[in-house]
């Protein structure tokens, strides 16, 4: 198996799982539908291309939570919003949740190395803008990791070995959420079609690991007197 690692860091992120009407929720880590939507935007896959989405959806996803972030809430009002039956509403109210100052290392695992390479290349020069769950939430650091494509490395191993992305001091342990057929939790975020907004469920398991070491900064050059 091969694994592609991505970095998701930003002032605000939102990864909705079951948003309805006036309440827009967020999960505590990136959703698979949101992450694959980001990949589709980078590659330039249109919303109607269900075949291309199926290829991406077959990848197994895992998330290492390097900084949990703070759950925050905004109250929104909007005017002249289209009604489902036609016409305009005078005012639309909504409550929107997001994660402030969170940091995630996300992995996608699959046998098709060329597909992972395609995503990796597209993230460096995306066809359409990429964002962290909502269009207003742009990444604070590049999503692409130059050393993020790991050949012949399982998802679990890649997430455990890659250097810590958070700040010092690191927490004693990091939460890891990995897609697994025998997982104890269910997530309703396996995308089937973005055009018709259809999703299936998938199972995930949660574990905790010690944070890997942060990369050492290069020491200043010195020369003997």
Task: Give the global pTM.
Answer: 0.88
Is the bond leading into 169 cis (omega within 30 degrees of zero)? yes
Average pLDDT, the chain: 91
**Domains, in order of start, for the chain:** 2-69+100-209 (3.30.70.2660)
pLDDT tens, residue by residue, 48-103: 999 999 999 999 999 999 999 999 988 767 766 666 666 776 677 778 889 999 99
For the cut 90, the answer to whether the pLDDT of residue 223 exceeds it is no
Cβ neighbours of 210 (radius 10 Å) = 12
* Sheet strands (E) in the chain: 2-13, 23-24, 60-67, 70-82, 88-110, 144-150, 174-179, 185-193, 198-209
How does pLDDT run across 7-22, given as a tens digit for each residue?
Answer: 999 999 999 887 666 7
């Amino acid at each position: 198996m091969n694994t592609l690692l991505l970095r998701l860091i930003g002032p605000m992120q939102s990864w909705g799982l079951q948003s309805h009407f006036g309440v827009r929720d967020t999960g505590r880590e990136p959703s698979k539908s949101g992450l694959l939507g980001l990949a589709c935007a980078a590659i330039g896959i249109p919303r109607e291309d269900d075949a291309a989405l199926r290829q991406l959806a077959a990848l197994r996803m895992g998330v290492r939570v390097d900084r949990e972030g703070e759950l925050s809430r905004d109250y929104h009002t909007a005017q002249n919003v289209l009604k489902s039956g036609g016409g305009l509403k005078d005012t639309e109210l909504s409550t929107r949740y997001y994660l402030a100052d969170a940091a995630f290392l996300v992995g996608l695992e699959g046998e098709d190395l060329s597909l992972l390479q395609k995503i990796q290349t597209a993230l460096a020069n995306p066809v359409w803008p990429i964002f962290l769950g909502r269009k207003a939430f742009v990444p604070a650091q590049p999503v692409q990791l130059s050393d993020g494509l790991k050949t012949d490395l399982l998802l679990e191993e890649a997430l455990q070995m890659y250097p810590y992305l958070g700040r010092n001091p690191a927490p004693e342990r990091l939460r890891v959420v990995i897609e697994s057929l025998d997982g104890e939790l269910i997530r309703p975020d396996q995308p089937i079609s973005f055009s018709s907004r259809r999703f299936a469920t998938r199972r995930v398991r949660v574990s905790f690991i010690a944070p890997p070491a942060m990369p050492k900064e290069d020491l200043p050059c010195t020369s003997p007197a």
